[in-house]
Structures are given as C-alpha cells and as structure tokens.
Amino acid sequence: MGAVIATYPSGLHLLQQQKIFGGGPAYPGGGLKVRTKVRRSKWWALGALALITLCFPVLTQAASTVILPNPGGEPSLATPGGLLDSLYGLGNLTRASDSADQVWQNLGTGTATIKGKYAGYTELFGYISGASGGTFVPLMNVTQNGLISGQTGQFTVGQSGFDFRFAIDPNGSNVNPGIWSSVAAENSDGLDHMVTWLITGNSGHGDNVIGDYVIAFEDLPLGQSDLDYNDLVIQVHGVQDAPVPEPSSLLLLGAGLVALGGLGWRRGLHR
C-alpha cells in the first residue's frame, strides 16, 4: 500500500489508489463519483435557490424605517446612550417591523404612557378606530418638553375597535401639519411617521414591562423633517401590532422543494 502512495501521481497507481481507499479520482474529468457529486450539488443548489426565492418577499417585508440621530440639542432616539437606551436599555428592546406597526389591535383596554417629547409643537396623542377610515380620537395633549412621567391615557376595545391606528395631531387641531397616522399610506406625505420597539427584556431596568411596546413619532412632514422620531415617545400596554403574514407556510414549501432536490439526487445516484 505504501508503495502505491509513494508512486503518486502516476495515473496507473492513482486508479489503484481509488480501489484501495474507495475515494473519488483526484483528477478532472474523472469517474462515476465525480459525476454524482456534480449531480448532487446541482439538486441541492436548486432546492436552496427555491427556498431563498420563496423567503425573499418575507425578508424584504421586514425593512425598517430609517431614524436619524438628532442633529443637536436633543437626545437621539435609538443610539447607544440615547433616549431609549437610558429609558429601557437598547439590549432590552426589539425593533418591530414597519409593516407590522401600522394597524394595531386592542386586547381589551389599551394604556398609553407618555415617556418624552422633544419637539417645538405641542402633541395631541390618540387613536383612529378601525383598520381604515374613522376619525382621530385624542387621548392626551402633551405640552411639556423632555422626559415625562405621570401622563397616562386609556381606551377600551369598545372605543377603538379591535383594529385601530395610533396617531398624533401636532401643533393643535386643524392647524398644519395635520394628523399623522401609524399607517404610512394615510399620511399626506406618505412618510412612515411612527417607529416601534417591543420590550423584550429588563436587564439593568427592573421596571421594564416585557410585552409592552414603545412607539415614537416624527411630527414634521417629509422634506421639513429631521427624521429624529423623538418628537413624542409613548409606552403602550394591552395592545399588539398586527401580526406579519406567517412565513412558516412558505418555509414549509421551500423545505419541501429542498427535500425533492435531495430525492432527485438519490435517484440520480442509483440510476
């Protein structure tokens, strides 16, 4: 056996080596095992491609609205050491998808607690009942700037309906810039004016209520806005953002195709 290895890479001895060790040929254009390897990788590649293609719309759907750091004078919303970090700890928050934070659902009684306002305008905060249509119902008028505590409002499912949207009316009623809904398409500028985090931890922040959400508004229209989204920050309880379409069915379909790819490979192997 040692003599065979010693004479490598002679063609004759390579063939003997394959017989002895049962390995594939070590040169291009080789035997049966190389062809089955190519066939196998082709099937797996097809299956993986199908899986990626099917999952792509789900992955792109989860894109997040861009938040800019405050240009100066106010705490930035979501940077380390910024507003959310000091209130909750960034590591205890999970950003919600901006496709899911548009229409909300009231689980019985929604509670909203104002956490901060960093804006020149006063901010009227409330909800719009239903998944579409409806009118703005103010819950609280926020006039104080900076960190805020003790300002809380409640609304029952009987008032808002199961489906509802959050909204603000900056600068008082019936004055520019008008009402901003959590549904971007309802806004006059088409901009997403509200971003959302789910409280998922309480490390270093024992008061965090896991399962509550933190919503944060931008109150100026597109083109005039600094996109700092710290203009009004509210913690909400007893509500949930609308579930994103379940990717599990798509994943199952993709997995099925991968399995079919594997089956095709096995058939190829035993052909």
Interface contacts to Ca ion, rule CB under 5 A: 98, 101, 118-119, 192, 194, 218, 226, 228, 230-231
Instruction: Kindly state the smallest distance separating residue 194's Cβ from Ca ion, in Å.
Output: 5
Instruction: Kindly state the smallest distance separating residue 126's Cβ from Ca ion, in Å.
Output: 17
Minimum CB distance to Ca ion smaller for 98 or for 169: 98
Q: How far is CA 4 from CA 7, 19, 258, in A?
A: 5, 11, 41
Instruction: Kindly state the smallest distance separating residue 49's Cβ from Ca ion, in Å.
Output: 32
What residue spans of 90-211 are helical by DSSP H? 157-160
Own/partner pairs for 122-125, CB < 8 Å, 24+ apart?
122/170, 122/171, 122/172, 123/168, 123/169, 123/170, 123/217, 123/219, 123/231, 123/232, 124/168, 124/169, 124/170, 124/172, 124/173, 125/153, 125/166, 125/167, 125/168, 125/232, 125/234
Instruction: Kindly state the smallest distance separating residue 266's Cβ from Ca ion, in Å.
Output: 47
Instruction: Kindly state the smallest distance separating residue 118's Cβ from Ca ion, in Å.
Output: 4
Minimum CB distance to Ca ion smaller for 85 or for 192: 192
Minimum CB distance to Ca ion smaller for 212 or for 226: 226
Other CB atoms within a 10 A radius of the CB of residue 100 amount to 18
Minimum CB distance to Ca ion smaller for 191 or for 250: 191
Minimum CB distance to Ca ion smaller for 118 or for 197: 118
Task: Using CB positions, name the residue nearest to Ca ion.
Answer: 98
